[in-house]
Amino acid sequence: MFQLMCAARLRTKSLLAAAGGVSLAVVVCWSLIHGSDAAAAGADTSTETAKKTRTVERGGSRDATRRVDGGKGAKGDGTKGDAVAKVGAEKDGGPKSKEVKGEVPSEVYSTGYDGSYRELIDFINGQVRKGWAENGVIPSPPADDSEWVRRVHLDLVGHIPDLDTVQAFLADKSVDKRAKLIDKLLDDPGYVRQFTTIWTNLLIGRATPQNISRPALQKFLRTSFGRNRGWDKIVVDLLTAEGHFEENGATNFLLSHLNEGGVPATAISARLFLGIQVQCTQCHNHPFNDWKQNSFWEFNSFFKQMRRIEHREYNEKTGRMDFSYFELAHQDYDGPVYFERRNGVMEVAYPKFNDVEVSPDGGTERRKELAKIIVAGEKPQLADATVNRMWGHFFGFGFTRPVDDMGPHKAPSHPELLERMARELVKANYDLKQLIRWICNSEAYNLTSRFNDGNMKDDPAAGEMPTFSHLYMKSMSVEQLYDSLLVATNAHRSGSGGWDQAEARRQQWLQQFVQTFGTDENDESTTFDGTIPQALMMMNGELIQNALKPAQGSTLNQAMTASAKPADKAKLLYLATLSRAPTAKELAAANLIMKNAKSPLEAYQDLYWALLNSNEFILVH
């Protein structure tokens, strides 16, 4: 039985409930919509929390002033010395909680990294710990290996680890295995694919604009990340690109945003590369930061010396002139930009950014001059924005919220840490792999996502400034979900076709989620909406149906044909999907399913389906 009906799922859910399998979520239409199943093993929260996360990331209205600045402006309902926390992962078979009073535990967790940036990582740990102490927060304990290996794979290579990787990592007893795995994943092709996907979506959105070459932009990014080019050089190429949209893939970024006099290009360039939102200042002064209306148009004037040329060719079959290609070309432009104040007065704006004025003469290549200004100095805004965005990628929240709205109106939670990391990134020639290495080897990134009594208030989803005393949960992106389903089912080993063919299949599948999840607006959506179409696709979509077929080489076939007890076969399915072994309660529930199923195949299909449809599977924790 390859396509299981809702009635069978409801039967499975009732069996699990009777067995007390609280952390094993069997998802049917109504339970997915209402978010009734909680994520287990490292994620003591609900779908509602994830929904809050998205609301806050889009710009929640609640004011949060708690930060780490030596006590200035510190705000919170606890101070150093009054925190009481239960430290320890209390779950079936795990250590019981113990109360810790008064101060942050003195021992700093280490991944075993002992490279040239050890002092910087110690500084990161010290600054984060300083925030815990100043805000009366007790950190959660370190994540266990199962939780961490799944998290780092999703963050670095965009999919869950396969069964062999999980088993090998859990069996490895070396003290530096986490540091070694970070280095290994940074050299994995999945790293290139993951950040190519992230930045393609940020630059042009998931729904590719008409007549824009997504494959060409992806090739540019893939080559850049594969060669580990400095981020400053990549940004310069994106801002100064010219030529054929397929021969120079970087041109597709600006080609996508040249409408309305380059206003979209102005806004998105400032947001993505400088971490500032200036779109509202095209009409009026920014109400909170230093950007005035003239500042927007001064920045916009840098984008006036380019135009999009549409080339067409004659189609003999139709007798029409069909689109052939776009070209991003230089156009003559000198003098200022004219804009209208809200009172109707016309004013002028000359190219100027960061107090650096550029000649408005036609002979000046304005975009190249802007690129020079953006990357100049020991700690330009580009470095701040890059560190903040990358930190937010791994933690779910950056030092400011959202990550692309920095400025005096939103003081960072850890200003000294942001300052130091930005300067070090410049010294490292904007090496993104080094930046990732610093973050992933930090103590904060290695903590569990479970709250304790001493850090319940550390909840940025509720509007609080983050102190990073535990990992904040985030939902998989649709790309991570697709790739993880392939890994969980062993379909990634088929090796059919090259990168382009695999990407084409991936994009075709993702369009279902772009339409039904509402994520084609290129915003920073951080959770699934739990819509009925989403639930139906997850319950009975093609990938899920294929996963439930016991084909040769599949995960289901591997589990069913293993020379092992039923409990060990169930454990294989857990490791393949959730990267952890089942708890005693979950094993009892699985045994009950097997006893009541019509056949062993149906039993394992039901269990496997439940795991793939659980909140725990789609959450990064």
Q: What is the pLDDT of residues 264-313, one digit of tens each?
A: 898 899 999 999 887 655 655 555 556 666 778 888 888 999 999 999 99
Whether residues 501 and 528 fall in one domain: yes
Whether residues 513 and 544 fall in one domain: yes
* Domain-located, residue 176: yes
Position 470 pLDDT exceeds 60: yes
Whether residues 495 and 595 fall in one domain: yes
Position 153 pLDDT exceeds 70: yes
Q: Mean pLDDT lowest for which of 100-109, 285-294, 436-445?
A: 285-294
Determine the Cα–Cα distance for residues 412 and 419; give it in Å rounded to an integer: 10
Whether residues 442 and 367 fall in one domain: no
* Domain-located, residue 516: yes
Domain count for the chain, please give it. 3
Query: Of 172, 120, 117, nearest to 148 (Cα)?
Result: 172
Whether residues 331 and 400 fall in one domain: no
* Domain-located, residue 73: no
* Domain-located, residue 38: yes
User: What is the tens place of the pLDDT at every residue in 14-38?
Assistant: 333 333 333 333 333 223 223 333 3
Whether residues 389 and 368 fall in one domain: no
Whether residues 480 and 465 fall in one domain: no
Whether residues 486 and 608 fall in one domain: yes
HSE, side-chain direction, 13 A CA sphere, residue 392 = 26
Boundaries of domain holding 547? 6-45+476-620
User: What is the tens place of the pLDDT at every residue in 532-548?
Assistant: 666 667 777 777 877 78
pLDDT at 106: 79
Whether residues 551 and 583 fall in one domain: yes
Last residue of a domain, one of 353, 375, 397: 375
Last residue of a domain, one of 400, 434, 469: 469
**pTM (2 d.p.):** 0.83
Three-state DSSP class for residue 321: strand
Position 341 pLDDT exceeds 80: no
User: In the block, which residue shows the tokens 């850049």?
Assistant: 224
* Domain-located, residue 196: no
Whether residues 237 and 340 fall in one domain: yes
HSE, side-chain direction, 13 A CA sphere, residue 78 = 24
Whether residues 349 and 398 fall in one domain: no
Please give the distance of CA 4 from its chain centroid, rounded to a whole number.
Answer: 32
Determine the Cα–Cα distance for residues 251 and 593; give it in Å rounded to an integer: 55
* Domain-located, residue 361: yes
**Residues 371-400: what's their mean pLDDT?**
95
Last residue of a domain, one of 360, 375, 390: 375
Report the range out of 53-57, 98-102, 261-265 with the highest average pLDDT. Answer: 261-265
* Domain-located, residue 77: no
* Domain-located, residue 511: yes
Whether residues 437 and 498 fall in one domain: no
Determine the Cα–Cα distance for residues 21 and 45; give it in Å rounded to an integer: 16
